[in-house]
């Protein structure tokens, strides 16, 4: 009984505490609800302020940028006064970067002020143009001066005899010269200033090479004895000029030394002629040296010849082909002398560019007639020409133009064989006849996609059926496609050239022999049919008009 009373008392105590806890919970919930309400109101109050602050921050940034931009523009108006002294006083080699930075500031100022088109800036722009022109003149003059200082005439023989490398331009000055040339090449046109730094390079380096090699030539002529010289290695040249100016600079710089080289050879040759008994071995020495280094000479002079070996855009006869045939024709004017020289050389030994002997043909000349060795020489020349033309033709991107180019050149060779060298080259004429036919056929093949539109694609029971209603769209499409492809081919191929009138007529005749019968048959078949309510929309050419257009191909025009 006592135990029950105790538990009842504990239960009452717990119930009282539970009521107190519930009361506290209600108070805390009420307080939290009040807090939530206040936070909502606080957020509603702060959010506009936050947004306003962001707007003000952006506004402040824009104002700062505008202020800085205005200050920069204002600074441009004072730039001439600040930079004029630096630019006009000239360039110190150690301060080249600082000088270029000064010019860069003036360039930027002129670009910005020019874009704003403010009347107040016109005077400043004029002043900037003048100061920039003065700066470009200073750069060009500094380029010439630096190049001249590093192009002092040397005595090559003293280096050669001591087995020393010929000195080049040190890396530091070389880098400065490269920087100057690149800057003149890019900034000059931007400023409307045509810098002539390439001409300066040609004058200075050509003079340096000519004078230095002249000393070597004088030594060679006076001593007339063999010297072992170092051969130029690819990639070791002075990299002064920017890529776009290398070829013109190279051609210009090498011309004078090359002329001197040829003149030296003539002088030595004359010396040998006058003193045949004592100096004949000098001639052998010269021939041996030329033979040994012909590959190096070819590597160096290859770029020098680039100017005259570009492919013709219209596929006409290449200059190399006409020059080669003219050269062979001139040799026939001295046929007996040439045959004697070739017999002396031996069959095939005229190919001095070969690193190893060519044993494809018997080198001995015992029992060989003079005419036979001349045939071999002419055949080798034409074979070399053929290889070169085939290689060059690969540069064309269009098959049709490749075929026209090779057709023109091989027909030119074939015609020359028939008219000028028949007695010498009769045996190889058939080879060029085959090549002419091959590339004529190859060209005609490029017309097949156009011709294909004139072929009926619906054949039933072995006979050609009249166009049905479901074939009308096909006929329309074929006329439309033919018109499009013919117009595209005509526009392009009219710009190709076949200068030989006989060859041009034959190629045009071959095109018409396939095209005209197919077109006339296709036209007659569908012209009177009801493939379209408006047939003139698809039938663009009558046969005579089409033939007249084909007759105008290959005149080299683009109209």
* Alpha carbon 101 to chain centroid, angstroms: 31
Structure letter (DSSP) for residue 356: S
Both structure tokens of 58: 């952006």
Determine contact, residues 508/550, Cβ cutoff 8 Å.
yes
Among candidates 517, 504, 509, 522, which has minimal Cα distance to 455?
522
- Judge whether 220 and 261 are in contact, CB under 8 Å: no
**pLDDT tens digit at each of 559 positions of the chain:** 677 777 787 788 888 888 888 888 888 888 888 878 888 887 787 778 877 788 888 887 888 787 777 677 766 777 777 777 777 777 777 778 888 888 888 888 887 777 777 777 778 788 888 888 888 888 888 888 888 888 888 887 777 778 888 888 888 888 888 888 888 888 777 676 777 788 888 888 888 888 887 777 666 666 544 433 343 344 444 566 666 666 666 666 667 777 777 777 777 777 766 766 565 556 666 666 665 555 555 554 454 445 435 788 899 999 999 988 888 888 877 778 777 777 777 777 666 444 333 434 444 444 556 667 778 888 888 898 999 999 999 989 899 999 999 999 999 999 888 887 776 777 777 888 999 999 999 999 999 999 988 886 544 444 444 444 447 778 888 888 898 899 999 999 999 999 999 999 999 999 999 999 999 998 888 877 777 667 677 888 899 999 999 999 987 665 5
**3-state class (DSSP) for residue 460:** strand
CB-based contact 556:314 (threshold 8 Å): yes
From residue 553, alpha-carbon distances to 218, 317, 489, 498, 550 in Å are 59, 17, 10, 9, 6
| Amino acid 230: pLDDT | 41
User: Which residues touch 446 (CB under 8 Å, ≥6 apart)?
Assistant: 399, 400, 403, 489
CA-closest candidate to residue 177, choices 267, 249, 75, 280: 249
Burial 201-224 (b: 16+ CB within 10 A, else e): bbbbbbbbbbbbbbebbebbeeeb
* 432 class by beta-carbon count within 10 Å (0-12 exposed, 13-18 middle, 19+ buried): buried
| DSSP 8-state code for residue 459 | E
For residue 26, the model assigns a pLDDT of 84
List CB contacts of 480: < 8 A, sequence separation 6 or more.
Answer: 538
Distance, first Cα to last Cα, the chain: 129
Closest CA to 198 of 252, 161, 150: 252
Q: What residues pair up with 464 in beta bridges, in sequence order?
A: 459
- Determine the Cα angle at 424 with ends 423 and 425, to 5°: 105
Cα–Cα distance for residue pair 287/346, rounded to 1 Å: 15
Class of residue 550 by CB neighbours under 10 A (exposed 0-12, middle 13-18, buried 19+): middle
Across the strands, what pairs with 555?
497
Residue labelled with tokens 């044993």? 359
Token pair listed for 388: 């070169």
Q: Which residues contact 256 (CB under 8 A, 6 or more apart)?
A: 206, 207, 209, 210
Looking at residue 544, what is its pLDDT? 92
Q: State the Cα torsion 325-326-328-330 to the nearest 10°.
A: 170
Asked if 124 and 77 count as a contact pair (C-beta separation under 8 A), the reply is yes
- Helix residue ranges per DSSP H, 150-242: 156-161, 171-190, 197-223
**How is residue 350 written in tokens?**
């005229």
- The radius of gyration computed from the CA coordinates of the chain, to the nearest angstrom, equals 43
Token duo for residue 446: 């490029």
Residue 82 CB partners (closer than 8 Å, separation 6+) = none
As given in the structure block, the two tokens for residue 376 are: 């071999």
Looking at residue 1, its pLDDT comes to 67
The pLDDT assigned to 390 comes to 92
Given a contact cutoff of 8 angstroms between Cβ atoms, the answer to whether 445 and 541 are in contact is no
DSSP string, 47-114: HHHHHHHHHHHHHHHHHHHHHHHHHHHHHHHHHHHHHHHHHHT---GGGHHHHHHHHHHHHHHHHHHH
CB neighbour list of residue 436: distance below 8 Å, 6 or more residues apart: 407, 410, 411, 414
User: Residue 79: how many CB atoms within 10 A of its CB?
Assistant: 22
Contact residues for 489 (Cβ-Cβ < 8 A; gap 6+): 446, 447, 450
Collect all residues with Cβ–Cβ distance below 8 Å to 122 and sequence separation of at least 6. none
pTM for this predicted structure: 0.47
């Amino acid at each position: 009984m006592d135990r029950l009373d105790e538990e009842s008392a504990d239960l009452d105590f717990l119930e009282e505490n539970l009521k107190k806890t519930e009361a506290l919970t209600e108070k805390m919930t009420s307080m939290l609800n009040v807090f939530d309400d206040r936070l909502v109101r606080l957020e509603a109050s702060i959010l506009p302020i936050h947004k306003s602050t962001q707007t003000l921050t952006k506004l402040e940034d824009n104002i700062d940028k505008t202020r800085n931009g205005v200050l920069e523009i204002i600074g441009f108006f004072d730039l001439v006064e600040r930079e004029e002294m630096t630019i006009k006083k000239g360039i110190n080699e150690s301060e080249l970067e600082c000088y270029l930075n000064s010019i860069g500031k003036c360039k930027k100022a002129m670009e910005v002020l020019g874009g704003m088109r403010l009347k107040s800036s016109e005077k400043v722009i004029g002043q900037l143009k003048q100061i920039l022109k003065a700066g470009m003149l200073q750069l060009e003059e500094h380029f010439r001066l630096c190049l001249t200082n590093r192009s002092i005439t040397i005595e090559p023989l003293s280096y050669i005899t001591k087995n020393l490398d010929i000195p080049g331009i040190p890396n530091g000055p070389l880098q400065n010269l490269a920087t100057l040339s690149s800057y003149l090449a890019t900034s000059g046109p931007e400023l409307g200033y045509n810098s002539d730094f390439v001409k300066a390079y040609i004058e200075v380096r050509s003079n340096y090479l000519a004078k230095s090699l002249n000393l070597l030539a004088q030594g060679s002529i006076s001593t007339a004895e063999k010297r072992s010289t170092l051969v130029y290695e690819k990639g070791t040249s002075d990299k002064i000029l920017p890529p776009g100016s290398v070829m013109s600079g190279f051609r210009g710089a090498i011309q004078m030394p090359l002329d001197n080289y040829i003149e030296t050879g003539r002088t030595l040759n004359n010396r040998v002629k006058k003193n045949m008994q004592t100096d004949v071995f000098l001639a052998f020495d010269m021939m041996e040296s030329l033979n040994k280094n012909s590959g190096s000479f070819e590597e160096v002079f290859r770029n020098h010849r680039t100017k005259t070996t570009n492919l013709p855009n219209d596929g006409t006869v290449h200059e190399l082909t006409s020059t080669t045939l003219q050269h062979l024709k001139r040799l026939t004017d001295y046929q007996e002398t040439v045959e004697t020289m070739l017999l002396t050389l031996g069959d095939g030994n005229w190919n001095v560019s070969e690193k190893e002997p060519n044993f494809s043909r018997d080198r001995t000349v015992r029992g060989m007639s003079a005419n036979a060795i001349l045939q071999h020489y002419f055949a080798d020349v034409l074979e070399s020409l053929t290889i070169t033309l085939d290689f060059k033709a690969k540069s064309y991107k269009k098959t049709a133009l490749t075929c026209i180019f090779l057709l023109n050149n091989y027909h030119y060779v074939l015609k020359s064989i028939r008219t000028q060298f028949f007695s010498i080259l009769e045996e190889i004429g058939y080879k060029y006849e085959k090549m002419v036919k091959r590339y004529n056929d190859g060209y005609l093949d490029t017309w097949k996609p156009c011709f294909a539109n004139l072929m009926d694609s619906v054949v039933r029971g072995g006979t050609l059926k009249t166009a049905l209603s479901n074939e009308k769209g096909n006929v329309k499409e074929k006329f439309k496609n033919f018109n499009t492809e013919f117009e595209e081919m005509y526009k392009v191929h009219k710009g190709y050239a076949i200068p030989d009138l006989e060859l041009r007529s034959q190629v045009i005749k071959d095109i018409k022999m396939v095209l005209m019968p197919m077109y006339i048959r296709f036209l007659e078949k569908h012209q009177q049919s009801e493939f379209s309510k408006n047939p003139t929309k698809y039938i663009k050419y009558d046969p005579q008009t089409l033939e007249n257009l084909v007759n105008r191909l290959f005149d080299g025009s683009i109209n």
